[in-house]
Amino acid sequence: MKQERINVSRREFLICSATLGAGFSLGLYLPFTSRGVLADVGAAGTMSSEISEVNAWVVIEPDNTVIVRIARSEMGQGTLTGLAQMVAEELECDWSKVKTEYPTPGQNLARDRVWGSFTTGGSQGIRGSHQYVRKGGAVARQMLIEAAANQWDVPMAECRAANSVITHVPSGRSTTYGEVAAAAAEVFPPEHVELKDPSNWKIIGKPVKRLDTEDKLNGKQVFGADLQLPGMLNAAIKACPVFGGTLKSFDAAKVRNMPGVRAAVAVEDYAVAVVAETWWQAKTALDALPIAWDKGPNANVSSASIDKMLDEGLTSEDKVFVGNQNGDISQALNRAARTVEATYRYPYQNHATMEPMNATARWTEDRCEVWCPTQNGEAALEAASQAAGLPIGKCDVYKIHLGGGFGRRGAFHDFVKQAVAVAKQIPGTPVKLLWTREEDMTHGHYHPITKCKLTGGLDDKGNLTALHVRISGQSILASVRPQWLKNGADMLTFQGLLPEGDHAISYTVPNLLVEHAMRNPPVPPGFWRGVNINQNTIYMECFVDEVAHAAGRDPLAFRRKLMANHPKSLAVLNAVAEKAGWGKPASNGVYRGLAVVKTFASHVAACAEVSVDAEGKLTIHRIVAATDPGYAVNPQQIEAQVEGSFVYGLSALLYGECTINDGAVEQQNFNSYPSMLIREMPKVEVIVMPSGGFWGGIGEPTIAVAAPAVLNAIFAATGKRIRKLPIKGIDLRPV
C-alpha cells in the first residue's frame, strides 16, 4: 500500500468528512497558528489550564506529557484510547505519557469546527475521523521537527522523531517534544504530510492498555450522576406516563415545606420537577406531589393494538417501500418446487443504560452552561441553546464520560432541555437533574417494533431461487430524522439487506424482493445499539437456517453456496465454523447454530453452542465470533467490545421487551426488564481478522449475530423454531 500524501496549506488544514451522526459533509478549516490558552471549564471539565498547543489535537507539556484532544465521546467502548493511538502513531510520541481531554462544542464552533463531528454513534467514532486525526498527529510531528531544526540551524531532512525525542542524525544532538513545543506552536504547518503505511504502524493495531481504566477502577472518574458543583441543587422529574400526554395541574403547596425543598416547577406542558438540596429530598417530595395528567389521544394504545397495525402491514400494499430487488419474485415463487414461509416478531426494547439520564445546568440572562454525558456534544449544545433562549455563542456543554449510551444519548437530548428549563427558573444556581430508573424506563426512545414475513422458494435440487422479505413496522428516521427519508422511504430499515454498501446483504439470490411496510405507532422509536441490524439479522439468518433444513442441507454448506460472491463475509463465517468445530461432534447434548452479516462496513459471524435440558432450561455454553473491520486499531478493545455487545444482545434475546398498556410502558425497573446474569454469560472466543483496505465498525455490528446464532442452535437442540422475542416464558422443552 502506498503512503498517503496530504496537501495542507500554510495557514489551514482542510478536512472533509462525511459523518453519519451529522448527516452531511463538513468542510473544516484548522488554523495552525497559536491560539493561546483555552479556557478552563471548571470541576467537570478536562481542559488543561497551562498548555503548549502545537495544534488543535496535540498539546505538549514541558515534561513531555502529550494531551490528545478527542471530540468523540467515551461510553465504555474505548474510543478515547483508539483515537489517541491514531494521533500518537503519526506524532511519534511516547505512548506512556499520553493523556486525553475533551474540547467543548462551543470551542469547536468558535474555532471553525476544527475538531469535526462531536457525534459518537453508528460505529463512527474511529472510522468517521481516523483520516483527519491521523493528519493532525502527522502535521504536529512535522512542526516539532521543524522547530528543533530551526534551533539547530540544520535541514529538517536530517532530523528524526521517535518516542517524543527529536534527533539530528549526523551530529547525534537531541531534544524533547516538551522542550520545543512552544516554538513548534509558532511554526506554519508543512505543505505536505505523509501518513504511515499500515505495515509501519507501531501503536495502531497493538493491544495497548486503555487510558481510562485506572480512573474507573480507583473511583476518580466522574460521571454525570456523580457531578458536584459549588452551591448546586438537585432535581427529580416526572413526565406524563402516556406518550403524547400533558400536564393538567399540580399542587406545589403540598410539598413546599418538606425537608430541603426549594421549588416545584412545571417543565413545559408535560412534566413536573421538584428542586431540593439533595436528590433524595427532591425525589421524595415529587412522589408526594399531587399531579393531574391529561393522558391525551394515546391513552388506549396497547401492545395488542400495535400488533394489529403491524399484521395489517404484512399483507397491505399501502405505504410499502422497496429496499432491494432483482429478478421476478412472483414468477419465481410460482415456479418453485417448494416454498417455505415464516413470520417473525421483534419487540420494543429500552436502552437501559446503567446511568439514568441526567444533566446539570446553570442559567443566567447572559450565559447557559451544561455538564452532561452525551453522545453528541453539538446536539446537546443546540438543545441547551433552545431551552435557554440564548444564542449558541452564549452557551456551552462540558462533556463527561457516559455511564452507557447505546444510542439513547445521541439523537435525543430531552434531559438536557429539561435541566435547562428547571435551572432557568432558579437563575445563577447550578441544578443537577437526575431521572429515576422508572422515568428512564418509561420515557425512552425505544428500539422499534417490527414484524417480518419471509417466503423462500426452492427448486427441485434444493437451491434457493427466490426470497421475499416483507418488514412491517416503525421507521426511526420518519420520527427522528424525516429529512433523511428518500422519497418517503427509510433506507436505514434495510440494514444488512441492501444491494450494496456498508449494510449489503451477504447472499446472492436470483430473485429477491425486500420491502418495508411503514407503520408508525405513537411509541417514540430511537437508535438502539446496532439499530435495525438486530432484528434484520435474526429475520434473515434464522430464516435461511429454516430454508436450509427444509432443503435437507447442512446450514453451513447452504450458506456457503449463497455467499460465493461475498468472500469477506464467507471468510468470517468459515473462521467461526472451523474454530467451533462445525461438522465434528460437539459435547453430549450440545448443539450449534450459525449467523453472519455485513453491516457498518464490517463482516461479522458467530457460532453458538447451547444445550436445553428435559425441563426446557437453556444454557449458552460458548459463542465463537469473528470480525473483519478492515483495520483493527486495538485488538484487545475489539475483543472486549464483542464480549460486551453479546451481553447486550443476549439480554435482549432472553428478556428484553417493553409492552404497552393504556398508552404507557409497563416495565419500570430491572425487576421487570432484567439483564442477563454473570452465570448466564457464555464463554466468548473472538477472532479478529482485519483484511485491510477499509474501515469498518466494531460496537454496532458485533451485537447482531449472537441472538440468531443462539436461536438456530436452540432449533438444532429442540426442533423448535423461536420466531418471537424475547424467549422468556417460551416452552423450550425438546419435541
57-89: pLDDT as tens digits: 999 999 999 999 999 999 999 999 999 999 999
Q: Where are the alpha helices (DSSP H) in 126-278?
A: 130-152, 177-184, 213-218
For residues 721 and 735, give the distance between their C-alpha atoms in angstroms, rounded to a whole number: 11
For residues 547 and 194, give the distance between their C-alpha atoms in angstroms, rounded to a whole number: 51
For residues 125 and 21, give the distance between their C-alpha atoms in angstroms, rounded to a whole number: 10
For residues 1 and 195, give the distance between their C-alpha atoms in angstroms, rounded to a whole number: 11
Going from the N-terminus, what domains does the chain have, and what CATH number goes with each? 4-206 (3.30.365.10), 224-296+357-434 (3.30.365.10), 303-349+446-718 (3.30.365.10)
What residues form DSSP beta bridges with 99? 67
Residues in the chain: 735
Above pLDDT 90, what percent of the chain? Answer: 91
pLDDT, position 50: 54
What is the CA 170 to chain-centroid distance, rounded? 49
* pLDDT tens digits, 234-291: 999 999 999 999 999 999 999 999 999 999 999 999 999 999 999 999 999 999 999 9
The pTM of this model reads: 0.92
Longest dimension (CA), the chain: 84
Left if phi > 0, otherwise alpha if psi is -120 to 50, otherwise beta: which for 668? alpha
pLDDT, position 31: 31
pLDDT, position 530: 96
**Weakest mean pLDDT among 2-6, 284-288, 512-516:** 2-6
Q: Is the pLDDT of residue 18 over 70?
A: no
Q: Is the pLDDT of residue 124 over 80?
A: yes
How many helices and strands, by DSSP H and E, does the chain display? 17, 30
Side chain identity at residue 412, one-letter code? F
Cell numbers found for residue 375: 453522545
Between residues 39 and 83, which one has the greater pLDDT?
Answer: 83
For residues 12 and 4, give the distance between their C-alpha atoms in angstroms, rounded to a whole number: 19
R_g (Cα) of the chain, nearest Å: 27
For residues 396 and 687, give the distance between their C-alpha atoms in angstroms, rounded to a whole number: 42
For residues 620 and 651, give the distance between their C-alpha atoms in angstroms, rounded to a whole number: 12
Burial of 197 (0-12, 13-18, 19+ CB in 10 A): exposed
For residues 378 and 380, give the distance between their C-alpha atoms in angstroms, rounded to a whole number: 5
* pLDDT tens digits, 636-669: 999 999 999 999 999 999 999 999 999 999 999 9
Q: Is the pLDDT of residue 23 over 60?
A: no
Q: Is the pLDDT of residue 719 over 80?
A: yes
For residues 237 and 274, give the distance between their C-alpha atoms in angstroms, rounded to a whole number: 7
The shares of helix, strand and coil residues in the chain, as percent rounded to the nearest 5, are 30, 25, 45
For residues 370 and 395, give the distance between their C-alpha atoms in angstroms, rounded to a whole number: 8
Q: Are 570 and 597 in contact (CB under 8 A)?
A: no
pLDDT, position 52: 87
Residues 489-504 have a mean pLDDT of 98
Residues 514-531 have a mean pLDDT of 97
| SS3 label, residue 415 | helix
pLDDT, position 351: 98
Which residues have CB under 8 Å from 77's CB, separation 6+? Answer: 125, 637, 641, 644, 698, 699
Report the mean per-residue pLDDT for the chain. 92
pLDDT, position 51: 63
